Structure 1
Amino acid sequence: MSVSTPASRFSKGKLASSLPTQQLEEIKELFDNRRIGFSLDAPFYTDPTIFKLDMEGIFGQHWLYAASVAEIPEPGDYVTIDYGPTSLIVSRTDGGGVNVLHNVCRHRGARVLTEKSGSTGNMVCGYHSWTYAPDGELIHASAPGETSFDKSCFALKRAHSRIYAGLVFVCVAEEPPTDFDETAKIFTPYLAPHDLSRAKIAYQQNIVEEGNWKLVMENNRECYHCDGHPELACSLFPTWGLTDELVPPHLEEVWDRNKEAESSLEERCRRYGLPYEVVEELDTRIAGLRISREPLDGHGESFSPDGRRLSKKLLGDLRDFRLGRCSMHLQPNSWFHFLGDHVITFGVFPINEHQTLVRTTWLVADDAVEGDDYDLEQLTYTWKQTNLQDKAFVELCQTGAGSPAYEPGPYMKSEYQVEAFINWYVQRMQEHLA
């Protein structure tokens, strides 16, 4: 018997259908009455039932970023991905693909693999030693007196997976959304030249933010607060998200420098055949995205105080360090920066209604040598500081959302991507609750 497909208990609407009618109608009303252009009502950030619905309707139904292939470079390498009530094992196969299995033993439900990452052949549950093959098939479950036990009926439950441009995506829905492959056709040409199959992990940071996952995503989708990121502002133009008519007087000089750098970057992209145009469909497709290649300040090479490269080794077959950053946002849980010298991935994994794990991974060329080609502290400094600052901002908002005085506030014009994220979220949840 082959490894089982996602079980029906992950199908749409299990929690929603079990809620008391009045409670469900009140939640639907919150979604229906959501005021366009304003932040969400407090329960969206604080209510445990809405969090559980998010885990069912968003994280239980849509494609999620899980890891990069550089995190599992060899057959048998694995990472475990945890969000809400779900734990998944993402492992590399002999053929270079991935298996994604629910990290739940079919005997008594114990976690099969308990480490965040590692390498394994057969997987042995530490409770009663039920043993599973890399594809999830149960191969050992001996016990005294058992003569009629059919092991073939108890494979680990499987989830769906895709690898695009070296990024691994998972979906636990019985029938995942069908448009993700089309979305991948858009972003793959931007990312493929950086070739993550020839990259390695330089560092990975896990931060638990005391905030709802939507606040984490909202914070990422705007640069209105970027004055609070002094290290990042050295290389990332703080005019991101602005247009000519929105530039405040104190940023006019920066705006002019940004436009000049943008023109120079576009010329180099055309020279090397690299796509750079903005593609923005954050709330107009189920697998919403925004991708573009944008200039960096200073030397325009990397996230350093003067914009100079942080690793001496170019990624993939790139021929120039001065390529700015290829920035991608994907709904619902990730964003990425692909540079000439390194890549940074960000994955958002909700824990509960007021806590969220943010996993940041720095990748460099696989032949880059720490200490010779890059200094780890310098490589990670800007985004380590930025992540800590964002953590503080998110936690301020979570505290405020719990106050009796809280009410939704208006998004500024430069926060249009926040509005797009919330609009995407509301659409998906209304479909789920319908």
Structure 2
Amino acid sequence: MTTKAQPVTLHTGKAWANAQLQQLLERRLPGHSLEAPFYLSEEVFQADMEYIFARHWIFVAVAPQVAEPGDYITVDVGQDSVLIVRDDDMNLKAFHNVCRHRGSRLCEEHQGSLGNIVCPYHQWTYDLDGNLIHADHMGETFLRDQHSLHKVHLRNLEGLLFICLADEPPQDFEDVAARMRPYLAPHKLNDCKVAAQVELIEEGNWKLTLENNRECYHCVGNHPELTISLYEHGFGAQPGPQNAEGIAQFEQTVKDSHCRWEAMGLPSARIEELDTLITGFRTQRLPLDRAGESQTMSTEVACKKLLGDFTDKSLGGLSFWTQPNSWHHFMSDHVVSFSVIPLSAGRTLVRTTWCVHKDAVEGVDYDVPTLTAVWNATNDQDRRLVEASHAGVSSRAYRPGPYSPFTESLVEAFSNWYVSRMRAGVGGAR
């Protein structure tokens, strides 16, 4: 017996109300993908930007992108543009990229260097602390100190830069940072440089991008470059007689590696908080297969100059996921970070950044094609998968499908987190 497919109804315009969104959230079936409007509706997208991206800690950059005084980057999150700059005392500051005169955008380029922040419209000038220091023709009663740039909350977690656009950001970030610093600090990302950065546009909803990232059910057959360095049973499998020995061997390899790394002062144990905190996160250091050194086509290090004080190349891969928009891989020789920024209900920016030791010399210690080959290939493969998924959920035949309990538990954790935070937003909570 077949069930006749029902057309997907999308609410449009101002008719979409929080009450309708609440009903959609309440209907969410645990253990299954989300209903189509979560991926397709413009009204849901606007709610995503208000309740998720404007209220949570968002990963946007790495500290080496703003390495010297006056270095800056701009990051667009929805309608908001944020300016991150390093001041003369080497502190990082974040401001809304909006002049206090008549609202002109201050810096148009994604990245650059400046002495002071000068508005291109009427040349109002701010120092690197955001203070207005020059404004012509404003009269004797004008008070410059009342027109400083509006600040944005910024945290530097061992070289990973997070911003929050809310007036009162989630307070649990400090707990997350305290738990993650011992894992991240030995890699010394603050002492790295950017070797490459690639931006990719996916014609799909941002949640499909995150869902795709949170599982490796699809890796075999789709990611031949990535799986070179991954153990066969390292990304989940339904246990049974056919693979019991392989799973046991992998688990023993993980146990032995953790013992070795912990003895070296490298925390490795899994922390699982993806859907139990407002600032959801997960981390674990896992061994890499074959040469076991790095996520490269040869599985050997891509950079001869190792990070921090490392002398051992075989330190596995430390993974760090944060809700709602990032994942990172820390290895002995380089760090690769991913930031996901929604552009519209059906377009998503994925920005990938590779960092190596600041003293590494391109062409001597590393070359960019070797460093970036695995993730450039994987990102493009993932783009196609996300775009196929977006096309599929647009069909009237689409229904939420069941997650595998063995390989898609992290997708369920993402969906749980997303639904709970949207419910909090709709209900007026923070």
Task: Please give the TM-score of this superposition, normalised by the length of structure 2.
Answer: 0.92
Structure 1 291/90 Cα, relative in aligned 2: closer, same or farther at 3 Å?
same
Q: Note if contact 1:344-1:360 (Cα within 8 Å) is conserved in structure 2.
A: yes
Partner of 1:288: 280
Q: Which structure 2 residues correspond to residues 207-226 of structure 1 after superposition, within 5 A?
A: 207-226=200-219
Q: Note if contact 1:78-1:117 (Cα within 8 Å) is conserved in structure 2.
A: yes
Cα deviation 1:16-68 (Å, max 9, x = unaligned): xxx96872211110011111111111111111111111111111111111211
**Aligned partners of 2:378, 2:16: CA distance in 1, in Å?**
43
Q: Which structure 2 residues correspond to residues 131-170 of structure 1 after superposition, within 5 A?
A: 131-143=125-137, 146-170=139-163
Given the alignment, which residue of 358, 375, 395 partners 1:383? 375
* Residue identity matched to 2:96: H
Give yes or no for the alignment of 1:420 onto 2:428.
Answer: no
Shift of 1:352: 1.1
**Aligned partners of 1:348, 1:59: CA distance in 2, in Å?**
11
Partner of 2:259: 267
Partner of 2:109: 115
Q: Note if contact 1:239-1:247 (Cα within 8 Å) is conserved in structure 2.
A: no
Shift of 1:211: 1.1
Partner of 1:35: 29
Partner of 2:177: 184
Given the alignment, which residue of 343, 346, 370 partners 1:351? 343
Given the alignment, which residue of 83, 87, 99 partners 1:93? 87
Partner of 1:174: 167
Shift of 1:121: 1.7
Given the alignment, which residue of 185, 199, 203 partners 1:206? 199
Give yes or no for the alignment of 1:336 onto 2:334.
Answer: no
Please provide the CA RMSD for this pair: 1.9
Query: Any stretches of 5+ residues in structure 1 without a counterpart?
Result: 1-18
* Residue identity matched to 1:384: N
Given the alignment, which residue of 124, 128, 138 partners 2:122? 128
Partner of 1:48: 42
Structure 1 241/51 Cα, relative in aligned 2: closer, same or farther at 3 Å?
same
Structure 1 253/202 Cα, relative in aligned 2: closer, same or farther at 3 Å?
farther
Cα deviation 1:90-115 (Å, max 9, x = unaligned): 11123332111011122232211011
Given the alignment, which residue of 319, 337, 340 partners 1:327? 319
* Residue identity matched to 2:303: S
Shift of 1:185: 1.1
Q: Note if contact 2:254-2:287 (Cα within 8 Å) is conserved in structure 1.
A: yes
Partner of 2:8: none
Shift of 1:263: 3.6
**Aligned partners of 1:241, 1:233: CA distance in 2, in Å?**
10
Given the alignment, which residue of 29, 50, 61 partners 2:55? 61
Q: Note if contact 2:392-2:398 (Cα within 8 Å) is conserved in structure 1.
A: yes
Q: Note if contact 2:204-2:348 (Cα within 8 Å) is conserved in structure 1.
A: yes
Given the alignment, which residue of 231, 234, 240 partners 2:228? 234
Give yes or no for the alignment of 1:70 onto 2:68.
Answer: no
**Aligned partners of 2:418, 2:262: CA distance in 1, in Å?**
35
**Aligned partners of 2:276, 2:65: CA distance in 1, in Å?**
31
Cα deviation 1:252-296 (Å, max 9, x = unaligned): 786466345424422320331211101101101111111010011
Structure 1 253/385 Cα, relative in aligned 2: closer, same or farther at 3 Å?
farther
Partner of 1:411: 403
Structure 1 257/78 Cα, relative in aligned 2: closer, same or farther at 3 Å?
farther
Partner of 2:5: none
**Aligned partners of 1:185, 1:355: CA distance in 2, in Å?**
34
Structure 1 256/198 Cα, relative in aligned 2: closer, same or farther at 3 Å?
same
**Aligned partners of 1:254, 1:51: CA distance in 2, in Å?**
43
